[in-house]
Amino acid sequence: GQNIDQPTEMTATEGAIVQINCTYQTSGFNGLFWYQQHAGEAPTFLSYNVLDGLEEKGRFSSFLSRSKGYSYLLLKELQMKDSASYLCAVRDQNGGSQGNLIFGKGTKLSVKP
């Protein structure tokens, strides 16, 4: 079956670094996405990985290991506005077909002063 696991909640301090992990078991794999969702708002795209390794984008980085079915999102220099839910999503369609995304339940991050 399809399964995506993330921690339910995390707490970190302003200015610190936090790593949010995601493990997945899906029938296929054609990319992994991270989204940020503030309470009451729509998810917004953060990062995309399809090959193994680290993708860096400003304060946010995302890592993928396909052999381990594992990804993490790294947030540096945390700011209060980073308090949000972070959603891991896998595109489980192999080949050229686009397919839909399977989402994890999200990790609610609270940044404290």
Contact footprint for other proteins (CB under 8 A): 4, 30-31, 33, 41-45, 48, 50, 87, 89, 91, 93, 96-106
Nearest C-alpha neighbor of 47 from the set 11, 22, 67: 22
Of 96 and 113, CB closest to other proteins:
96
Of 16 and 54, CB closest to other proteins:
54
As a whole number of angstroms, the distance between CA 35 and CA 94 comes to 21
Of 30 and 83, CB closest to other proteins:
30
Of 3 and 13, CB closest to other proteins:
3
Least Å from the CB of residue 67 to other proteins: 20
Q: Which long-range contacts (CB under 8 A, 24 or more apart) does 43-51 make?
A: 43/87, 46/73, 46/86, 47/73
Least Å from the CB of residue 30 to other proteins: 5
Phi and psi at residue 7, to the nearest 5°: -65, 150
DSSP 3-state of 81: helix
Least Å from the CB of residue 98 to other proteins: 5
